[in-house]
Structure 1
Amino acid sequence: MRSSALVRAVLLAGSALASPAAIAQTAGAVVEPATGDAPPAVVATTQETPPANTPTGAATPLSGANLAATEQTNGEVIVTGSRIKQDPNNSALPLQIITNAEITRNGLSSPEQLISFLTTNGSGADNLASNADVTSGAQRGTNGLSAANLRGQGSAATLVLLNGRRVAAHGLSGSAVDVNQIPFAAIERVEVLKDGASAIYGTDAIGGVINFITRKDYKGIGVQAFNDITEEGGGNIYRLSAIAGYGDLDRQGFNIMGAVAYSWNKILRGSDRDFVNGNQPNRGLSIDTRGTPIATAFALNNAANIQRGAFAGQVGTLLGGTSGTFTNGGAAATGPLNGLLVPGGTTTYGAGGINYLNLPGGAGCESMDGGMAYDAQLWNNASARYACAWDTGRAAVIQQPIETLTYYARAVWRPVGSHELSLEVTGSDAKSAKSFSNPQVSTNTSNFQVTYPLNSLTAPTYNAVYNAIAGQFPGVAANYGKPIAFRWRCIACGPREYKTDTKTLRIALAAEGPLWEGWDYRAGGSYSRSEATSVLGSGYYYRGTLASGAYDPSAPTAPGAAGPGLAGLINSGILNPFSLQQSDAALAGLNAVSAFGATLYGGKYELRQVDYSISGPLFRLWGDQSVQLAAGIDYRRETYSFNGSAAAAATAPNIFLAAFDNVNALTPRNRTVKAAYAEMLVPILPGLEVSAAGRVDDYTGFGTTTNPKVSIKFRPWAPLLFRGSYNTGFRVPAFNQIFNGATVSPYSGSDLADPIRCPGGVPNATVPACAIIRPDVITGGNPQLGPETARQFSAGVVIQPAPMFSASVDWWKIDVDDTIQLLTLRQLIDNAALFPTRFQRDASGTIIGLDDTWINAGSRRTQGLEVALRGGVNALGGLFSAGLDGTYLLKKREKLTPTSAYGPSLIGVFTFAGDLGVRWKHNAFVSYSTDQWVLAFTQIFRKGYKNFALPGIAAGTVTRPDYNTRVNDYIIYNLSGSYTGLAPGFRITAGVRNLFNIDPPFAVTYDGNTGAGGSWEPRIADPRGRSYTMSVEVKF
């Protein structure tokens, strides 16, 4: 009687949770042929499917059904995307399972590498290589971050789980999860749900879900050593790991296990690979950065304001001003020198810079390492005819060095029957170093009034520069003795570097077990956090001046300098911007004013979560088939804080070029989420099954949202299965997208023009109205941001005409409204009429600012196909297998306001920071396996896309013979072999990645605003070239 009362009470509670407000859709999951398992259409839970392969191309010793059967004798288990136990090989929605063995055989040493191989992962700036160079505004919080981006919906729209529960987002970004924290040494398998799952998990699960699942009851000791050595040097990868466990859960009722891994990726610089080359003008690529190792001299308007150095207060500089005349206290100042005028015009060459190396008789810009003659035609800038440029891409790292320590411990106890109590502790410490181009030092008339003077120390260099310029432009003789304004790339200063240390911790306590016949419960509580701090490495120095340009007495002063900081070193002539070699005094001076080790910023994200769910048969419908129900509640509290730096305080001396974000400093902000969900699986007829699920979430600051999901599975014939689903989803803004302050950054690119005065907004030197504009760009948070919402549809078919041959095709469609995004500057220019308030103009109508803060902007429509093919045949004493996994993008379009029309297709269209929308990706393999051997040959294919065009080509004012409007396809091959016959518990795996040593395809990726990018695309290609992998694993 008491038992019956308890049953009724729990069922009533489950029914309440499963009310119409909460129920709408299933979240079932299926192992696609992508895992190599037989498709759900024909697999019985007791049938062993043949060994097969994943998108990474490695053989799988057990199918998903086999793996599930080790946990549940009837082959049913809770899989990613559902709370109801079911056979993953006979479920309604696409689930891809990747095993530990596959990871090892493909030489994948990190979660980031694994994710990059998934064809369903987008092509956004989500990996370390994509964020190794200079970044702007909202991307500055990505130091040390590697994220997932399923179906190109963005890293914040992909949910990452560890053992079915959330982990903390990255401490700096506060939105996306850093996959570097995953304990890779303890991973048993990875489940990738290629469907929306907000009805099950809540926010973020729009693009899909990646669930890293650890081993549960390991017994014995295992050690593994792995290396990945490049043929051309640089960028080597190493990993050491160990795992140990004691106790048999079934016989002894407990198990204790732990795993630890240490990995380190060595640095790979752009200068280490010859395909990194920004000086390819015939192909439409040349660099705009005119700060060069031997400085480029400039004219300087308002030069009368120069207050520092031996010529403080003197009117003008060597090359004069850039336009007109002006006065300073009544004294006439120099305007443009007639000798520097472009013939027949009023534009001075001095306005665009003159480098004496590029003058007739000079040594040439190429005499500098990384130097090139400035291509005035490509950049549509005639005034820079005699300037030099410098290849910033060669100075940046193309593989960030990162050292990662991860650890995992788990204790599980069965106090009675099948009830289990478990405690998990997971943590990581990742140290990365983002390194990019040396600092560019430029004269200005506000906060950095530095010039190269004429004095006894500088006379030899000053006269050499003067004589070279005067030989071509005799008019400068009138200004002899006046200081030289310049742009200079300080090689002696070293590359700029941010060192980021990210520490994570996760503690999870869980209980699960049976309630009564067929019913189970799952309960858990967890705490996780991610804390990250970035400090300055090399390349950063105290500026030495106040905002007014006056010397800053609080900044350190080098011996013999005219004043503090860099400004004092330059204005005294100790630092020589017109020489590749610096004196001992200059090097000592740089060391004296270095800001090495100063804190840049830090952030912390914490997550506290409690959940409880029950599942089991609700009632028998027909035969032995029952309606299954799952219901639960979920409570979590998220906390985010962002710390500024004492080095950026108002009273602290300024550090030159450091991207401090004190304006974004945020005291801890909290967000509470309370949710209830329910899921029901109804077997309507033999072969026909419908699932419905729904979730109600209450979010602090955003109210309540309800998201349903409905899915169907229909198998009219054993070899044939149809499946489909409909669901809705949502994503709330990240804390920093709401609360960040406004950051103002001067735009330094040469590719924008006023779109009102110049239709199209593309600069054209021959049209006065199409002059280059360089406004301030304002980025930051928006307190009025709301959540974005999504509707998702999918329909697929799985065919298996024979036990070892299968094929599946799934169509999917994602409609997102009120998208949370930063518009690109080109989007603003192209749609100026839609966003007039985002253009700030002065009294004359000139654009002086662009508001590029976060916005809920319009809608996005994406459609695609996911294909999986598998085949196998037994021959020659083993199994020959072949397969292909591919993703084809059918549609990607956006509109920027609710009432505007959708723009042109964005498939294969270049963007600096967003997703490239690659049309087709696939991974194909052939393999041969026996009891002891597995040999695999894999092809990785990524379709090309539209190339970026520099301003001259974009405006149609210049053509280049070898410019290709499309980037070539990226195709590489991998080869691997694994052998287990040497001794019990011993496995050795060797491989060659990028077998034919294929370089990344040439692509114009240089960003004239940030100076980042160059000649290849890190969102598509691996820059390391051919490499040799070796893994040795021993188990005792």
Structure 2
Amino acid sequence: MSSSLQLRRVSIATAILAASIGAAQAQSATQLERIEITGSAIKRSISDEGALPISIIKAEELRQSGVTSVEQIIDLLASSQSSSTGSNSIGSSTGGAAYANLRGLGTNKTLVLLNGRRMTAFAFGATAVDLNSIPFAVIDRVEVLRDGASAVYGTDAIGGVINFITKTSYRGGQVVVEATRPSEDGGKKEGASVTVGFGDLEKDRINFWASYDKRRQDRVRALDRDFSKTGIIRERGVAGSSGTTFPGNFTQGTGGGNPSAPGCQAPLSVSNPTNAANCIFDFSSTIDIIPDVDQETLAGRFTFKLNENHQFSLEGTQTTNDNTSRVAPDPVTGITMQPSNPFFPRTTPGINLTQPISVGWRMVPAGPRTNGAHSEAQRLVGDLSGVVLGWDYKVGALYSRSTANDAAVDGYVNAPFVRAQVAAGNLNPFGEATPAQLAIIQQAKRAGVFANAVGTTKSVDARISKEIFDLPGGPAAIAIGTEFRKESYKSDTNDAVVLAIPSAGRSPNHVGGERDVKALGVELLLPVHKMLEVQLALRTDDYSDAGRTTNPKIGLRFQPMKELAIRSSYNTGFRAPALDDLYAPLAVTFTAGAKNDPLLCDAQGKPITSAGGIASRDCGQQPQVQNGGNANLKPEKSKTFTLGAVFEPIKALTLSVDYWNIKLRDQIDVLPVDTMLANSTRYADRIIRCNQLPAADQVNLQRCGGLWANSPAIGYLITHNENIGRVKTDGLDLSAAYSQNLGGYGNLSLAYDATYVHKYDYQTSPADAFKTRLGYYNDGSVVFRWKHNVSAAWAMNNWGARLAIRHQSGYRDQNDPTTVVGGASFYGNVDSYTLVDLSGTYKFSKATSVTLGVKNLFDTDPPFSNQSSRSQRGYDPRYSDPLGRAFFVRAAYGF
């Protein structure tokens, strides 16, 4: 392949997000350096990516475009099928983590590396790397392999590999200050970093650099944005409400009501559209849509050149992430009130004055529930590399640790205490609290850590590579690598806190596990002809708990002419169940969306009283689900095929297209709640009702509550991890880059990067027919048919400007014509989503510059969606940015 075409192929990916002539020039200056490119263990020029589809992104250009975190880099990838923002932590127990998800296959099938080596999975979940643990301030470039790499990096690299590469050596110093100000309330960001380094490896034989980075973002409340200020939009099928409201609803036999109905207590409590005697609570209007986030990162690297052939390095990182979010006030259910109680609603029509009632009360006087998640990650790597007898070698040892805790900060109450105080006549669930009652509510509040989790990875690895003989197309090369890895995981709840706060969705659990992994791999690079190069790889991994697997890979690069290169690859993958997949603690929590009990509610969402149905308990309510691990899981297995071409019709223009096809079987996931309820007879053994709970199950009997304990109401749904079936997906990656010298007006670069998904079919059970997520919201998520980025960069002398357009296609919304809400059918399409960013930079020197810009230039709101899988309503936070137009400034000073 011509060196010009090789260089431009890598420049495509750089220009996609950076679109900068300067970045291309930086690559040109280093094109003769031999390094490891992601996807191969054989050293080669950075300008030669071989047979695999790789994007190389220069981080500095992204910083000047307003990117302030690693997760924002992932969100910009066209092949990424979901947003990784901290908004997804709202109303969940994720601990504030952010993940990568290439191809929509799940975060656990994208392998994330730091400097070519693994990182520990996040302590909560323990299935994927938290992007917050990666030191953004010192990232030099990001290499994205849009292909499986099980034969090179390990069996779980099914959806692709993202390799974050930090500075190797650095001299001098730089201070960076950044600030972002949205045009609407909330969400302001601030950040600062300092990096210093000294020592010339060639002259001094040592180099040391260190960096400290601190960032914070303020929360955005649902009420701060028009598109999120209410979760009850009946005319469009949005019913983000709860039957546990303030003042409280009560049930008595098969009836019930609310003393404040039908007026209720607007705006948070409104009349139930299917039962005017009850009220419902607009819970999503009281939450945060972006959490408070504080992050700190300390990173450093020491490199010592022993002699001309050997080099030792020691690198370390320490990151902390604090995430604080608020959701609706605590719901307390199962409160029993006798007719003798002074607050018994005697004047409510139809009430029996001789029978007790069961009350559900939203603790609005206690304020919103505030969750605080704290996580830390440490990583230390020692590496010895060099050349012995003509062999390149690299030997390393790694220690990586992730710890996290999730805590109740404010607003949570001790449910048994509240029940007892109501029963004693000291608290009134049907009216405003008096000062004396507020004092009792303050006494009822509980705070503390729900759970602590820790995960560790310890490994040693070694690899050697060498050119072994000549072939017609050049020297053949071989690489041999081995690795031993020990992974461990442990999660413990604070049982006293968990039992006192059932609404937090935790259950007492103390679980853990560990495994050993041994691996041996071989890779061959065979330039069999000047026009044809073959890459062969084979790796065997032996898991102490999942068995042994051997995965091959073959890659081909064919260049019939100077302007055209064709590439293809085939590989298999094997993902052993993660430790959390196997051993995750059992926990009962509410679903994000309201559901109808198929046994106790009809198709219109009205109670079937003859079966014992109660509207305020069984229809349009949030049932509880029991999540947890499954020790009987089988590994996931995959087959991946790619075929692509790179075409350079003229020197200023490069085009590429890559077809990818992935088949996955035995996918590990949970059975969707909607599927379970729609097939309630088939899955009857997973729908646990209150009258089925054993007397020993006090935790869940407490959730069923007093008078409901022997009722047919749903206690919880079993949604443990399982092998739910197969996935078949394929599509195209498209890219183009064009550069033009404008003479006295500078240089212009244009770039286009897109992913088109042709098919995404999946099963929810091995026995079920395939369904599609492509352009359809199904079982809690969607896969976009189109995602693309268009960018333009102009540079002249010290001046530069960038324009970027990000686009994703629309899709069919969650509710379709068969969905009935309040007696009416709803369905619609979610509009496409396009954001425009603009920035300008002036460089005083290489390390000193000022950048001003605006993200989301036209203040585009997220498109409307009636999804009910997230706590936020009216839009989908996983696929959009709720911040709105935001102005940013970045000032860097070098010394």
Instruction: Give the TM-score taking structure 1 as reference length.
Output: 0.79
Aligned to 1:488: 361
Percent identity of paired positions between Structure 1 and Structure 2 = 31
Among 670, 673, 690, the alignment partner of 1:822 is 670
One-letter amino acid of the counterpart of residue 639, structure 1: S
Contact between 1:886 and 1:920, CA under 8 Å: does it hold in 2?
A: yes
SS of match in other structure, 2:879: coil
Query: Do structure 1's residue 112 and structure 2's residue 10 form an aligned pair?
Result: no
Match of 2:850 in 1: 988
| 488-497 vs 246-255, which moves further | 488-497
1:979 corresponds, among 839, 842, 848, to 842
Change (3 A) 1:86 1:450: farther
Mapped partners of 2:461, 2:410: distance in 1 = 46
Q: Does residue 645 of the first structure (1) align with residue 494 of the second (2)?
A: yes
Counterpart amino acid of 2:488?
T
From 51, 57, 79, the counterpart of 1:98: 57
* Corresponding residue number in structure 2 for 1:354: 258
> Is 1:578–2:430 an aligned residue pair?
yes
Residue 415 of structure 1 aligns to which amino acid in structure 2?
L
Which residue of structure 2 lines up, in the alignment, with residue 739 of structure 1? 583
Alpha-carbon offset, residue 849 of structure 1: 6.1
Deviation at 1:588, TM superposition (A): 2.4
Counterpart among 550, 554, 566 of residue 706 in structure 1: 550
Post-superposition shift, 1:957? 7.5
What is aligned with 1:122?
Answer: 81
- 1:223 and 2:175 are equivalent in the alignment: yes
User: In 2, Cα distance between the equivalents of 1:283 and 1:112?
Assistant: 32
SS at match of 1:586: helix
* C-alpha distance in structure 1 between counterparts of 2:388 and 2:358, whole Å: 80
Which of 504, 508, 513 aligns to 1:662? It is: 508
1:1002 to 840, 859, 864: 864
Residue by residue over 1:779-812, the C-alpha shift from the partner in whole angstroms, topping out at 9 and shown as x without a partner, is 3221111110000001111111111211111110
Query: Residue 909 of structure 1: CA displacement?
Result: 2.4
Q: Give me the whole-angstrom Cα distance separating, in 2, the residues matched to 1:654 and 1:920.
A: 47
1:658-708 per-position Cα deviation (integer Å, ceiling 9, x unaligned): 333423x114x2210000001101111112111000100000111110011
Query: 3-state DSSP class of the match of 1:873?
Result: strand
Instruction: Check 1:450–1:948 CA distance in 2 against 1; reply closer, same or farther (3 A cut).
Output: farther
For 1:594, the equivalent position in structure 2 comes to: 445
Matched-pair contact (CA < 8 Å) for 2:314–2:380: yes
1:794 aligns with 2:653: no
**Aligned residue type for 1:903:** F
Residues 1:439 and 2:289 aligned together: no
- Aligned-partner SS, 1:250: coil
Matched-pair contact (CA < 8 Å) for 2:663–2:729: yes
Q: Deviations over 1:926-958 (max 9, x none)?
A: 2322231221111111111221229x9614884
Aligned-partner residue type, residue 589 of structure 1: I
State how far apart, in whole Å, the 2-side matches of 1:847 and 1:492 are: 28
Aligned-partner Cα distance in 2 for 1:278–1:538: 23
- For 1:971 and 1:450, the matched residues in 2 are separated by 54
In 1: Cα distance, 2:664 partner to 2:78 partner: 21
Match in the other structure for 2:748: 880
Letter in 2 for 1:1026: R
1:761–1:713 distance in 2 versus 1, CA, 3 Å = farther
Q: Is the 8 A contact 2:14 2:23 kept in 1?
A: no
Structural mapping, 1:27-38, within 5 Å: none
Name structure 1 gaps, 5 residues minimum.
1-39, 301-320, 323-347, 359-363, 377-383, 546-564
Residue 423 to residue 727, structure 1, CA distance change in 2 (3 Å): same
- The one-character-per-residue Cα deviations of 1:585-640 (angstroms, maximum 9, x if unpaired) are 233222223212x12001100000101001120111137x1111111111110011
Which of 419, 425, 439 is residue 567 of structure 1 equivalent to? 419
Distance 2:426 2:682 in 1: 52
Distance 2:752 2:611 in 1: 53
2:161 pairs with one of 200, 209, 227: 209
Structure 1 residue identity aligned to 2:57 = I
The one of 595, 619, 624 equivalent to 1:751 is 595
TM-score, normalization by structure 2: 0.91
CA contact (8 A) 1:95 1:193 kept: yes
The two structures, once aligned, show a CA RMSD in angstroms of 3.1
Q: CA deviation at 1:905?
A: 2.0
Question: Amino acid of the residue matched to residue 861 of structure 2?
Answer: D
The CA deviation string for residues 546-566 of structure 1, in whole angstroms up to 9 with x for no partner, is xxxxxxxxxxxxxxxxxxx32
Separation (CA, whole Å) in 2 of partners of 1:615 and 1:702: 30
User: How many angstroms does 1:567 deviate by?
Assistant: 2.8
Give 1:63-74 correspondences, 5 Å limit: 63=24, 66-67=26-27, 70=30, 74=32
Following superposition, the deviation at residue 292 of structure 1 comes to 2.6
Q: Tell me the CA shift for residue 845 of structure 1.
A: 11
Structure 1's 451 and 607: CA in aligned 2 closer, same or farther, altered over 3 A? farther
Aligned residue number for residue 1021 of structure 1: 880
Look up the match of 2:695. Answer: none
Q: Which residue of 2 aligns with 1:23?
A: none
Question: Per-residue deviation at 1:386?
Answer: 3.2
> CA 1:850/1:986 → structure 2, altered by over 3 Å: closer, same or farther?
closer
CA distance in 2, matches of 1:997, 1:355: 43
Q: Which amino acid aligns with 1:904?
A: K
User: Who is 1:397 aligned against?
Assistant: 288
Quick check: which one's strand share is greater?
2
**What residue is the counterpart of 2:393 in the other structure?**
521
Letter of the 2:105 counterpart:
Q
Contact 2:323 2:374 in 1 (8 A): yes
Residue segments in structure 2 that go unaligned for 5+ positions in a row? 693-710
CA spacing shift, 1:375–1:1019, aligned 2, 3 Å = same
Q: How many angstroms does 1:482 deviate by?
A: 7.6
User: Contact 2:849 / 2:892 at 8 angstroms: preserved in 1?
Assistant: yes
Structure 1's 243 and 904: CA in aligned 2 closer, same or farther, altered over 3 A? same
Structure 1 residues 734, 692: CA separation in 2 closer, same or farther (over 3 Å shift)? same
State the shift of 1:483 in Å: 7.1
CA distance in 2, matches of 1:238, 1:1034: 17
Using the TM superposition, give the Cα deviation of residue 48 of structure 1 relative to its aligned residue in structure 2, in angstroms: 12
The one-letter amino acid of 2:286's match is: A
2:21 and 2:371 map into 1 onto residues whose CA distance is 40
1:892 pairs with 2:744: no
Relative to structure 1, is the Cα distance of residues 829 and 89 closer, same or farther in structure 2, using a 3 angstrom cutoff? farther
Does residue 282 of structure 1 match 2:235? Answer: yes
Offset at residue 60 of structure 1 (A): 5.6
C-alpha distance after superposition, 1:939-986 (max 9, x if no partner): 111111221229x961488436xx5511111112111111114x5632
Distance 1:107 1:917, change over 3 A: same
In 2, Cα distance between the equivalents of 1:1027 and 1:698? 49
The verdict on how the C-alpha distance between 1:931 and 1:50 changes in structure 2, with shifts beyond 3 A counting, is: farther
Q: Do the aligned partners of 1:219 and 1:257 also contact (CA within 8 Å) in 2?
A: yes
Is 1:534–2:406 an aligned residue pair?
A: yes
**CA positional deviation for 1:211:** 0.8
Q: Which of structures 1 and 2 has the bigger CA Rg?
A: 1
Choose the corresponding residue for 1:615, options 451, 465, 477: 465
1:630 aligns with 2:485: no
Matched, 1:263 2:136: no
User: Residues of 2 paired with 1:437 and 1:55: CA distance?
Assistant: 41
Alignment pair present for 1:920 and 2:786: yes
Separation in structure 1 between the aligned mates of residue 186 and residue 90 of structure 2, nearest angstrom: 16
Partners of 2:590 and 2:876 lie apart in 1 by 25
State how far apart, in whole Å, the 2-side matches of 1:68 and 1:155 are: 34
**Deviates most, 193-202 or 73-82:** 73-82
Q: What letter is aligned with 1:144?
A: G
